[in-house]
Structure 1
Amino acid sequence: MKRSSSNIAFLSVASNSLVVLLKVSVGILTGSVAVLSEAIHSALDLLASFIAFISVKVSGKPADDDHPYGHGKIENISGTIETLLIYVAGIWIIYECVHKLISPEPIKLPLLAIGVMLLGALINFVVSRIVNKEANRINSVAMKSNAFHLLTDVYTSLGVGLSLILVAVTGWTFLDPIIGIALALYIMIEATKLMKEAFPPLLDARLNKSEEEEVFQAIRTFQSEYIEIQCFKTRRAGAHEHIDFHLIVPPENSIKSIHHLCDRIEDKILEKFPNAHIMIHPEPDGLQER
């Protein structure tokens, strides 16, 4: 499974390398600022794909002496960096578009530029679907962010291609930078949504309310065998949930029966969160008041 995820992450690196090479070459040949701006965007996507590839390999490593809680947060770090790169790409595209509005330039070989934009969009659309499917399967924040990077490249490539077609047909050069600015603003808005998913786990933010309710539902399956739950805590690191709570049990229960209860509760939670790390601290009723 890890090998499959790494191979799919590397696929995005390979596809982005090809797309960047094509866009840079054609941007230089045609003199199109829009194509060169899109090449810069794709280059940032390439860097993001490489970061995701590394993070998927590292986050899959088991816990060790230096990292007793595992390496899951590398995915959140990766996702945050990738999101910041989207902002950088958006700002750069807007800058280039404003410059082109002020100093319009003719585009040479527009059909070649249009063809490369459409080809790049097709390649990244196919790869983004593959990456996103694997990201959902393993619940990888880094791969989800990478899939979104690829999808934004599809939209911006199509947008640039459309603007080049309109410019070629109408001669209205101002359409190119205006469409570019609109697309840049769109991807920056979408990047904000990704940031909300990737960054909070770095601060050990709790799971969302619906996820915590699922955990409570699993625990309440055994509510006749314990008294109450205290000190309930949750957090996420990459694809792993960390769940920690105190289980208040009748004082007359044996250690063996309590241990068995904790095992069954863990198994029930794992049915809904198979990657969860669960820590249950059982306490006899009355002891917690001392």
Structure 2
Amino acid sequence: MTLQKRATIISSSVAVTLVVIKLIVGIISGSVAVLASAIDSGLDLAVSLFNLFAVSNAEKPADETFNYGRGKIEAIAAVVEGLVITLSGFFIFYEAIQKMLHQEPVTHLSASIVVMVISLVMTGALVLFLNHVANITQNMVIKSDALHYKTDLLSNGSILVSLVVIYFTDFYLIDAILGILIAIYIVYSAFELIQDGILVLLDASLDEDIVEKIKEVIENEPGVNDYHWLRTRKAGNDYFVDVHLVFTPEMSLLEAHRIADNVEAKIKTINPKADWLINIHLDPYDDSEVNVEESQKFANIEA
């Protein structure tokens, strides 16, 4: 079992435990913050199960149907998770407004505080673990899960603060106020998650610093006169690079191939954690203009 798959199973198990505890105490105490946190943990469970499905399928090798593998499933999972986080934020906001309007008291404060402390400890440990796995694997699903539970960590901390304040001051409005603030933060944090997933689905290029390093490798390689049509993208942990390298017409194919292998090997050192799929086209002269003309002719025929 891979590390990322193990991480999704652990996050699902933690979510199940937290849902049960928070739901029981939330119903008994009447705390909107605890109930909102229970709903959020339920969504965490659904998302973690979906992430397990996504990771399992993304790891499958390329086949006749999916020639480039299924790495983009991770991006789909990130978008779905971002949308779920956004919906949970709206729900918490709604519940907090209702709580503010009706001024319902919170009971069983001691039990609520205990359960939130337990939740805080478990979520904190899970975030540390997921961040560790994300740093090792560079997996988008795990990064999304880590961000998701990080928002939970802040949420749980805020809820704990509200319960303590109510316990000592009877200022019940703090429950609704913090609920609103938590909801705003959750929706805000989901935006970047959705954006990153969409960029991958739209085949956005690799980060600018990585692209610049690729260009530097090519430009500093002896024997390469020029290059064109450099294109990059990513899917999951797969980094795709396509480029045309220009050599002198007199150079043998064997020598040009050797130089291309050197370029490929150096590019892979830019991020050793990534799985690089590099396609290098060998040109005896700069044919970029000719290729553009041919592409335009083909486009006109298709139209």
TM-score range, shorter chain: over 0.9
> For structure 1, which segment, 268-277 or 131-140, has the greater mean C-alpha deviation from structure 2 after superposition?
268-277
> In 2, distance between residues paired with 1:206 and 1:62?
23
- 1:229 corresponds in structure 2 to 227
**2:276 is equivalent to residue 276 of structure 1:** yes
Equivalences for residues 85-96 of structure 1 within 5 A:
85-96=84-95
- 1:285 corresponds in structure 2 to 285
Instruction: Report the 3-state secondary structure (helix = DSSP H, G, I; strand = E; otherwise coil) of the residue aligned with 1:65.
Output: coil
Distance change >3 Å, CA 217–CA 102, structure 1 → 2: same
Distance change >3 Å, CA 288–CA 108, structure 1 → 2: closer
Instruction: Return 5+ residue gaps in structure 1 as ranges.
Output: none
Q: How far does residue 205 in structure 1 lie from its aligned partner after superposition?
A: 0.9
Distance change >3 Å, CA 248–CA 175, structure 1 → 2: same
- 2:244 corresponds in structure 1 to 246
Tell me which amino acid in the other structure corresponds to 2:62: A
> In 1, distance between residues paired with 2:236 and 2:52?
14
Equivalences for residues 58-137 of structure 1 within 5 A:
58-137=57-136
Instruction: Report the 3-state secondary structure (helix = DSSP H, G, I; strand = E; otherwise coil) of the residue aligned with 1:247.
Output: strand
- 2:255 corresponds in structure 1 to 257
- 1:55 corresponds in structure 2 to 54
- 2:197 corresponds in structure 1 to 198
Runs of 4+ in 1 over 6 A off after TM superposition: none
> In 2, distance between residues paired with 1:241 and 1:186?
32
Provide the alpha-carbon RMSD of the alignment: 1.4
Tell me which amino acid in the other structure corresponds to 1:142: V
TM-score (norm 1): 0.95
Q: How far does residue 117 in structure 1 lie from its aligned partner after superposition?
A: 1.0
Please give the per-residue CA displacement for 1:86-105, whole angstroms capped at 9, x wherever unaligned: 10111000000000000111
Q: How far does residue 15 in structure 1 lie from its aligned partner after superposition?
A: 0.6
Q: How far does residue 287 in structure 1 lie from its aligned partner after superposition?
A: 4.8
> In 2, distance between residues paired with 1:154 and 1:286?
55
> In 2, distance between residues paired with 1:69 and 1:228?
28
TM-score (norm 2): 0.91
Q: How far does residue 279 in structure 1 lie from its aligned partner after superposition?
A: 0.7
Do the aligned partners of 1:219 and 1:268 also contact (CA within 8 Å) in 2? no
> In 1, distance between residues paired with 2:46 and 2:216?
42
Tell me which amino acid in the other structure corresponds to 2:52: F
Distance change >3 Å, CA 286–CA 237, structure 1 → 2: closer
Distance change >3 Å, CA 282–CA 186, structure 1 → 2: same
Do the aligned partners of 1:59 and 1:71 also contact (CA within 8 Å) in 2? yes
Tell me which amino acid in the other structure corresponds to 2:136: R
Tell me which amino acid in the other structure corresponds to 1:157: N
> In 1, distance between residues paired with 2:220 and 2:210?
16
> In 2, distance between residues paired with 1:158 and 1:113?
13
Distance change >3 Å, CA 288–CA 182, structure 1 → 2: closer
Instruction: Report the 3-state secondary structure (helix = DSSP H, G, I; strand = E; otherwise coil) of the residue aligned with 1:225.
Output: coil
> In 1, distance between residues paired with 2:213 and 2:286?
28
**2:176 is equivalent to residue 177 of structure 1:** yes
Distance change >3 Å, CA 143–CA 67, structure 1 → 2: same
Instruction: Report the 3-state secondary structure (helix = DSSP H, G, I; strand = E; otherwise coil) of the residue aligned with 2:216.
Output: helix
Instruction: Report the 3-state secondary structure (helix = DSSP H, G, I; strand = E; otherwise coil) of the residue aligned with 1:280.
Output: strand
> In 1, distance between residues paired with 2:216 and 2:224?
14
> In 1, distance between residues paired with 2:43 and 2:257?
51
